[in-house]
Amino acid sequence: MQRLADSCNSKNPSCGGFLSCWFGMRGFTQVELIVVIVIVGVLALAVIPRFSGDSGFEARAFRDSVVAGLRYAQKSAVAARRTTCATFSAAPARVDFRISNGNGAVDCVQGLPLIGPDNRQLQVTAANMVAFVALPADVVFDGAGRPLSASVFSVSGLDASLMVTVEAETGYVH
């Protein structure tokens, strides 16, 4: 007991904070525990949504990957002078790219998977809960890089200014 009294009289108590000197006990006070719980709660509110995938980055990344894939398919059509196709599927949101076997083909039914720049089949798959707002029609580029028809579609979670557009005459994808 004498040691506790000596440590309370000194400028730096040994342990347990200043209140433990007055009450003769060790541990955390209720105020300290509540402050820690509040800090942990605030940190959890700020950090957990970052890991849940609801930040919008997945939707933007999927949209950008689809645009890049469509541009690659158009350039491949021009380079090989063959028809390339992009086929959209809903669950999970995915785009598969194919190239026709011959010049002048109307579609890619008789074609092969389009090989991407990484020497693998070109395919774009969405992560988590990302989806197309409405399932778009297939995009088909002829041997000159022109699409058979214009196409406009969007990805869920993005505003209207980020819609994917394939221009009718030029095939410009943006």
pLDDT tens figures, 25-56? 678 899 999 999 999 999 888 877 666 655 67
The Cα 54–Cα 48 span in angstroms is: 10
Instruction: Give the global pTM.
Output: 0.68
Q: Which residue range(s) make up the domain with 44? A: 2-52
93 and 161 share one domain? yes
| C-alpha 55 chain-centroid distance | 8
Burial 110-128 (b: 16+ CB within 10 A, else e): ebeebebeeeeebebebee
Q: What CATH code is carried by the domain that includes residue 129? A: 3.55.40.10
Task: Give the domain-ending residue among 52, 76, 92.
Answer: 52
Q: Which of 17-26, 67-76, 122-131, 150-159 has the lowest mean pLDDT?
A: 17-26
DSSP designation for 66 = H
